[in-house]
Chains A and B, each alone.
Chain A
Amino acid sequence: MTEGMDRIAIDVGQVLQRTVTSLYSNLVTRPTGRAVRMAIETRLQDAGERSISLIDLSEVVILDFSCADEVVARLLERSHESPTHEAFFVFRGVHEPHRDQIQTVLERRGLAAVAETRKDVFELLGQRSPAELRAWGLLEQRGLITTDEVDSLEDADDRAGLVRLVERRLAFRSPHTDRIHALSQLAKHLL
């Protein structure tokens, strides 16, 4: 555990085969996406009050919009509704064939997510303001930002951007140290 955070790695390809049927190799149709999302949510129920999950899409060949909506956007949206569990997510294996679907469903619901789009390359996908994007880029570059460093940022928009990232669970502020962590760093040992 780091910062009192449970770390969970979920291979969506495996969940698909175990949850729906071993005959299906592609993540298509809404009922399939819903079943996979619910299986992931069941895994998260066992976590403590705070968790970071690496949702790995590397083994998924075809991801349609319905499944992207369920497995990425709805998963995020529903996790934000939980009053007892604070869940953070990093999506892995969001390669070019999946990117458009994920970007679209996130924007449609007004969400954003941290995704590994190439090996060791992370991006902030979905709906984000220029200030959030700048702040996220800075955080991603540094790995973590201390309170003093936040205060020393000259641009008020950048400071506000960082606050918004924390509020949207696109960055993690430690309740112990007040430092703000990049999710990619927190998920590093799961990669």
Chain B
Amino acid sequence: MAQLDESRTLFDARHLRWADPNGMVGLLVAGVVAGKKQGTLPRLEPPESADVTGYLSRMAFFEAARGVFDCDPPARRPPARDSDVLLEITPITANADVHEVIDRVQSKAGSILTSKLGYPATAVVQFSVILSEVCQNIIEHAEAPGWVAAQSYNWARRLGRNVVVISVMDVGRGFRGSLGDEHSARYGDRWGDTTALEAAFLHGLTRFPDSGRGQGIQQIRRQVRRWDGAITIRSGTARIGQVPEWDDQPPLSDGLEPFPGAQISIVLPAKAGE
């Protein structure tokens, strides 16, 4: 990343060799933040590697980047082929977007979850429910736009298994901002990004007084645990997670670089032996 002039940032991706959904969606978030700060679209230099550019195109990165970056996308999108793209980068701004995501993901999710992860055919329902709840989290709590993407990989070196990675990010007010009005008083001086994440992630608190609300994250955690997966949420300067045995991330980190809004990352591994 470099400063083009006094008021414009350059995101130089020319030497990019690989990107996962978290990286691509994170790049969009960074672009939005830079654009807001400077009042002008930052410049993005696309990767030189045809493989990487082709992958970004298949993930619909360049469509999503319109309005975020000043960028010259590749001349044409490579022809569609059977890929491991489960869900292209999709903007989430309204409930209709959530419906579209759930409708779109059905056929592909079914085949990827069964063939790559060895999950039963019915897992597509629980997977869709997870996607629905994380996307709604953007609309109900961020009050700002966000994106979702999902992809399957072979984590040969790290895990020796296939995984599906779901990434959801928004540029909203974060968990501390969302919960502050309702819950900050009872935490007093302890209120901050970490306590806000703990309140939502561990205790299911929301800004809504209705006892029926706040189930989304709790139920996502439960389902991810059943599949021996990992889920982390980063917001502000903190990150909290439910970490399975195969992952060495700490369950709680603080003092990180501030992250605007929230990032939810879910990793679902193939069943052992698949």
A positions within 8 Å CB-CB of B: 23-26, 28-32, 61-66, 69, 73-74, 96-97, 100-101, 104-105, 108-109
Q: Which residues of chain B come closer than 8 Å to A100, judged between CB atoms?
A: 126
Q: Which residues of chain A come closer than 8 Å to B114, judged between CB atoms?
A: none
How far apart sit A28 and B98, CA to CA, in the bound complex (Å)? 8
Residue in chain B with minimal CB distance to A62: B128
Residue in chain B with minimal CB distance to A26: B102
Instruction: Please tell me if B79 contacts chain A, counting CB pairs below 8 Å.
Output: no
Contact present for B95 and A29 (CB under 8 Å): yes
How far apart sit A101 and B70, CA to CA, in the bound complex (Å)? 44
How far apart sit A101 and B223, CA to CA, in the bound complex (Å)? 11
Q: Which listed residue, A26, A65, A96, touches B122 by the CB 8 Å rule? A: A96
User: Can you identify 10 A-B contacts, CB atoms within 8 angstroms?
Assistant: A25-B103, A29-B99, A29-B136, A61-B106, A62-B129, A66-B216, A74-B212, A100-B126, A105-B212, A108-B215
Contact present for B211 and A64 (CB under 8 Å): no
Contact present for A28 and B99 (CB under 8 Å): yes
A77 CB to nearest chain B CB (Å)? 8
Q: Which residues of chain B come closer than 8 Å to A64, judged between CB atoms?
A: 128-129, 132-133, 136
User: Given A29-B132, A62-B129, do A24 and B215 touch, yes or no (CB 8 Å)?
Assistant: no
Instruction: Please tell me if B7 contacts chain A, counting CB pairs below 8 Å.
Output: no
Starting from the known contacts A104-B215, A105-B212, A109-B212, 10 additional A-B residue pairs (CB-CB under 8 Å) come to A24-B99, A28-B129, A29-B136, A29-B139, A62-B129, A65-B219, A69-B213, A69-B215, A105-B215, A108-B211
Q: Which residues of chain A come closer than 8 Å to B139, judged between CB atoms?
A: 29
Instruction: Please tell me if B4 contacts chain A, counting CB pairs below 8 Å.
Output: no
Residue in chain B with minimal CB distance to A110: B211
Interface SS of chain A: helix
How far apart sit A96 and B95, CA to CA, in the bound complex (Å)? 26
B65 CB to nearest chain A CB (Å)? 26
How far apart sit A104 and B212, CA to CA, in the bound complex (Å)? 10
Contact present for A69 and B212 (CB under 8 Å): yes
What string of 1s and 0s marks CB contacts (under 8 Å) between B115-153 and chain A? Answer: 000000010011011001100100110000000000000
Contact present for A65 and B211 (CB under 8 Å): no
Q: Which residues of chain B come closer than 8 Å to A25, judged between CB atoms?
A: 103
Q: Which of B16-34 contact A (CB under 8 A)?
A: none
How far apart sit A108 and B222, CA to CA, in the bound complex (Å)? 15
How far apart sit A23 and B104, CA to CA, in the bound complex (Å)? 12
How far apart sit A29 and B125, CA to CA, in the bound complex (Å)? 15
How far apart sit A90 and B126, CA to CA, in the bound complex (Å)? 24
How far apart sit A96 and B120, CA to CA, in the bound complex (Å)? 13
What string of 1s and 0s marks CB contacts (under 8 Å) between B204-220 and chain A? Answer: 00000001110110010
Contact present for A29 and B215 (CB under 8 Å): no
Q: Which residues of chain B come closer than 8 Å to A26, judged between CB atoms?
A: 99, 102-103, 128
B103 CB to nearest chain A CB (Å)? 6
Q: Which listed residue, B95, B125, B126, B133, touches A31 by the CB 8 Å rule? A: B95
Residue in chain A with minimal CB distance to B213: A69
User: Given A69-B212, A104-B219, A108-B212, do A62 and B95 touch, yes or no (CB 8 Å)?
Assistant: no
The 3 closest A-B pairs by CB, nearest first: A97-B125, A64-B132, A28-B132
